[in-house]
Amino acid sequence: MGIMSERGLQGDARQKLSGAHSSRLAHDEIVHIKAVLRRLSADDMNDLGLPPGYWRKRLRDLMQTHQLSNGQFDEIDQLLATLKE
């Protein structure tokens, strides 16, 4: 099972981006990651040098740098759950 989002890792002190532009960037990033994870197996990701840990980090960074909606957190939770340790 993947690592759950914990709704943005509350302890981070960095200021998050907000507004329509930030929301669109976050949406586009989630869509991109979702598309990649649907198409590639864990072996494919490893062969390309982009293992599951890389995608977990990108999702965590997204949560820490953007003000996300509950729906976006839900999508990230689902993506994290698909990434095996």
pLDDT, position 7: 53
Query: pLDDT for 16-74, tens place per residue?
Result: 777 778 888 999 999 999 999 999 988 899 899 999 999 999 999 999 999 899 999 99
83 touches 37 (CB < 8 A)? yes
Burial of 61 (0-12, 13-18, 19+ CB in 10 A): exposed
Burial of 67 (0-12, 13-18, 19+ CB in 10 A): middle
CA distance 21 to 24: 5
pTM over 0.85: no
CA distance 70 to 49: 31
